Amino acid sequence: MRWTEFDGKLKIELPLEFSYRECLVFLERSPLEVLHHVHENNIYKVIKMNAELILIKISYKDHVLVIEFPDKEPPNMETVVEFIGNWFDLNRDLSLFYDAVSEDSLLQPLVKRYFGLRMIGIPDLFEALTWAIMGQQINLTFAYTLKKRLVKSFGQSVVIQKNEYWAYPSPEIMVELQVDDLRKLQFTTRKAEYVIGIAREIVEGRLSKGILRCSEDPAKRLISLRGIGPWTADYVMMKCLLKTDAFPVADVGLQNAVMKQVGLQQKPTIKELKKQAKNWSGWEAYATFYLWRSLYD
């Protein structure tokens, strides 16, 4: 990933297989989103660096991402580049995915329709895990409602030019909470326990992205945690670790998308999905992401 710094701005050269429009479609999918804002095709988000909140403004021109800093420059440009690269999976050679599914009748129409769509990741492990926990067994709208309440209750914010921008709560803050603190936000008792438990694992040094990346079986390590089942583990490996072979096969949205695309009368079984996914071997996460995308056309 090539980038340059000039006059306090960053410019990141994009691969051919990148669609800024598709990024915006994903990022604008919920009006309840509180961790980033899209205004006039610009993306605004705060990232935490050295205990400071740095606002970044992302725009697109001539197949280049332009990163500006409306409030103050970050202490380290490389950290910003790394974050953007992980958020939009810019280091991935997406042509390999397109080649792998070139003969797949289910994915080919989606590849053409959403060409350049990349995995929009969740670089922070604590956010990825707790967001997945929040989403368990509820609809997406209520999951976003819970996240908004959590962020505005325990996250940090900065006001810049009369706009308020929020950062996700840190595990160090969350580990000090009691279950009742989250119950007040309409978390179930179990979900509250799971979120605080994950915070404790991270704060006490037993869990990190580095530990998972070095693990022979990161899914097994994740599933050993209370509140983390196979779906949550696969979701986190897909969205945070950016593992292309992660496959949340039990996901209801995935099943609905396949049912819609194939014209089935009922949702496919897990066995049927695994059979279909043989054509996506090694790219199950991207196949899933494209199928999810088809649900909000």
- Which residues participate in catalysis according to the annotation? 251
- Which segments of 155-283 does DSSP mark as H helices, in order? 171-174, 179-183, 189-203, 209-214, 218-223, 230-239, 252-262, 270-276
CA distance readout (Å), 11 to 61, 77, 123, 274? 10, 11, 20, 41
What DSSP character marks residue 54? E
290 neighbors 117 (Cβ within 8 angstroms)? yes
Comparing CA positions, the residue from 191, 166, 133, 126 lying closest to residue 44 is 166
Q: How far apart are CA 257 and CA 259, in angstroms?
A: 5
211 neighbors 203 (Cβ within 8 angstroms)? no
